[in-house]
Structure 1
């Protein structure tokens, strides 16, 4: 899959976007109310209002949006032709912006048709500007929606959604609270390590994953300790982008398959659900990915180069567990109020995510999934 987006990056890169707006008459700005209040976003909005003939602002995108949320937004779109869709926000906002770039085209498939698997042929030109460093949505052909009736999430996937332009602007991410920066950063890490070890991994996705992990390992904790460190912030935006590009060329597997039910039924933030599952899932798949785990370990700062591949693979898993702990993210479901009585549902729902389960580098059965979930209930697993 070719990613043909033009990427603009760097401090104050918003000042250089005006040329993208030439000839555009009606833009759709997709964001949420929190993001709308960021001073840099307000400056962008003022720039758009000055240069565009008309600007429609959608600021009602919720966290973890459902197909009903998107349907309501589509119903409120202006009747006139939109010639540029701009998404400014986290992964949920960018996913919705990508969908709207398709749905606002005359004669496009409906949202229900997209959910049923119909493939669109075209979209409105788009510009995506992430304000978190985690989902990599700006580089993926995916839009993830919650399906409340099924208590899970599904992905609408088509390369048509890949944007024309991406802007990676570090000052837009400095407003993230530490817990959001931590959980979205772990989401990016999951994308990178899962795609790197997936059955569908390949030289292109591996290259993206290795570059992204190198940037993430050296920058994630710095962004928490030094919120205004724009160099670290930009490195994390690139790590997130490379994670998305890895997904576009390969795919995630066990962590994401097992986290979807946690988001769909219990509404855990996606990054938090992934953080809880990262070390347990990687501990399970480690025997099938020793060499790749060793390669990832070698990207860590201050590593022990005397270790053999087997030892490095174990050390990487322990690094993941320690990282989640240092970032003060939850390590069990019990502390989030989800009891072991939910295990049967979780196992069945995770196994149902076959789109991702087929990417796991080893056979996975119901007992395997149950045993991984069991580690998230320390009272049972000891």
Structure 2
């Protein structure tokens, strides 16, 4: 699957959007209320208002959008036509913007049809601008929606949803609280290491994964501790983008499959759920991915390169565990109010995410998933 997006990157890279807007008449801008007030976002809005005849702004995208949320947004637009969709925000906002780029066009399948597997054939011109460095949504053909009646999340996937333009602008990420920078950064890490070890991994996805891992290992903790470090923030945006590109060419597996029920039923933030699962899941798949774990470990700052591949693979898992602790992210499900009585549901729901489970590089069954969830109850919050 080719990614043909034009990339715009760097500090103040959005200061002049005239060349993107010169032939546009009606724009739809998708964001949320917290993002809309950021000065740099206000500047984008002012530019769009000055160049297009009509601007409609949707600023109420929820953190974990449901299918009915998207349907309500479509209904509120009343069939109005647009020739540009701009998404500015985290992964949820960008996913909704991608969906609107294919739903708000004449003759498009509706959301029910997309959820049933029908594929869109065309989209409105789209520009995606991430304000967090984690989901990589701007580089994936996926849009993830919560389905409350099934207590899970589902992905709508089509290369048509890949955007025309992507802007990676570090000043838009400096307002992220440390907890969000940490959890979204771990989300990007999960994308990179899962795609690197997926059974669907290939030279293209491996290149993206290795470039992203190198940037993430070197910059995540700096970006969290020093939000005004624009160089580190930009490197994290690129790490996140590479994670999304790796997803597009390979796919995630065990961490994401097991985190979906935590988000779908218990509304645990996606990056937090992934952080809890990262080290246990990587420890489980390690024997099947020793060489790749060793390759990834060599990118860790101060890596001991004289170790054997087997030793490096163990060291990488321990690095993941220590990183989550240093970032002060939760380390147990009890800390999030989820008790052991929920185990049967969690196991069944995770195994149901076959789209991702089929990418795990080793055999995984119900007993394995149950044991992995159990380790999250045995771990104490750091």
> Which residue does 1:150 correspond to in 2?
150
Q: Does 1:63 find its partner at 2:32?
A: no
User: 1:224 Cα deviation (Å)?
Assistant: 1.1
Q: What is the CA RMSD across the aligned residues, in angstroms?
A: 0.8
Unaligned runs of 5+ in 2: none
Following superposition of structure 1 onto structure 2, how do residues 326-341 of structure 1 map, counting pairs within 5 Å? 326-341=326-341
> Which residue does 1:175 correspond to in 2?
175
User: 1:15 Cα deviation (Å)?
Assistant: 1.0
> Which residue does 2:187 correspond to in 1?
187
Say whether the 8 Å CA contact 1:56–1:78 is kept in structure 2: no
Q: Does 1:165 find its partner at 2:149?
A: no
- Aligned partners of 1:379 and 1:89: how far apart in 2? 33
User: 1:47 Cα deviation (Å)?
Assistant: 0.9
User: 1:78 Cα deviation (Å)?
Assistant: 4.5
> Which deviations, in whole Å up to 9, do the C-alpha atoms of 1:338-370 show, x marking residues without a partner?
001100000000000000000000011000000
> Which residue does 1:347 correspond to in 2?
347
Given the two structures, how large is their TM-score scaled by the length of structure 2? 0.99
Q: Does 1:253 find its partner at 2:253?
A: yes
Say whether the 8 Å CA contact 1:48–1:55 is kept in structure 2: yes
- Aligned partners of 2:329 and 2:15: how far apart in 1? 35
> Which residue does 1:244 correspond to in 2?
244
Say whether the 8 Å CA contact 1:261–1:349 is kept in structure 2: yes
SS at match of 2:105: coil
> Which deviations, in whole Å up to 9, do the C-alpha atoms of 1:201-240 show, x marking residues without a partner?
0000000000000000000000111110000000000000
> Which residue does 2:36 correspond to in 1?
36
- Aligned partners of 1:136 and 1:16: how far apart in 2? 24
- Aligned partners of 2:228 and 2:379: how far apart in 1? 40
Say whether the 8 Å CA contact 1:84–1:126 is kept in structure 2: yes
User: 1:80 Cα deviation (Å)?
Assistant: 3.1
- Aligned partners of 1:232 and 1:305: how far apart in 2? 25
User: 1:379 Cα deviation (Å)?
Assistant: 6.9
- Aligned partners of 1:115 and 1:58: how far apart in 2? 22
SS at match of 1:62: coil
> Which residue does 1:203 correspond to in 2?
203
